[in-house]
Amino acid sequence: MDHVDRILEQWRRERPDLDVEPMGLLGRLARLRTHLAREVERTLLAHGLNSASFDVLATLRRAGPPCKLSPGDLIATTMVSSGTMTNRLDQLEKADLIERAHNPDDRRGVIIALTPKGFALVDEAVTAHVANQHRLLAGLSPEERAALDGLLRKFLKEFE
């Protein structure tokens, strides 16, 4: 039995009229997300990053050369508000990980680009991040991972 099983057992005792099966699945997903996020943050922190800063740097890096995007593209990809993105960009610029340049296609706009320091850091961090993800999934066989991935993809489609 895990922690969620004990909660379900209590609800079944107190409210036998309710089908609490969804509570178990969603409760486990929520608890897993908390544990996984903590492990991801620990890995990123070792590189001086948090998940928010890594999200921006990784989005720029995976855009490919020249690793530049407009703020609007970054907002759309990371799904944060413009105010939140501005704050993230300010912090990354202060750390010399990104730079803002005038957008040659729109004189009123800017383009966000990785600096050489930002490029090197995100490459180092993503290598550690992927290794950490493999470690976190090591308890599942390749078949179990594929099955879980398929089920989660199907579930996620309902919301996206």
CATH label of the domain that carries residue 114: 1.10.10.10
Based on the fold, state whether residues 64 and 79 are members of the same structural domain.
Answer: yes
pLDDT per residue as tens digits for the range 34-71: 999 999 999 999 999 999 999 999 999 999 999 999 99
Residue identified by tokens 């800063």 is 53
The answer to whether 29 and 97 are in contact (CB under 8 A) is no
Based on the fold, state whether residues 68 and 127 are members of the same structural domain.
Answer: yes
The Cα 143–Cα 147 span in angstroms is: 6
Residue identified by tokens 């309902």 is 158
pLDDT at 131: 98
Based on the fold, state whether residues 84 and 146 are members of the same structural domain.
Answer: yes
Q: Which domain holds residue 78?
A: 50-157
Based on the fold, state whether residues 138 and 90 are members of the same structural domain.
Answer: yes
pTM of the model: 0.87
Closest CA to 117 of 48, 28, 26: 48
- What phi, psi does 58 have (nearest 5°)? -65, -35
Based on the fold, state whether residues 68 and 3 are members of the same structural domain.
Answer: no
pLDDT at 107: 77
pLDDT band at 1 (very low <50, low <70, confident <90, very high): confident
Based on the fold, state whether residues 60 and 116 are members of the same structural domain.
Answer: yes
When divided into structural domains, the chain yields a total of 2
The Cα 15–Cα 10 span in angstroms is: 8
- What phi, psi does 108 have (nearest 5°)? -85, -15
**94 residue type, one letter:** K
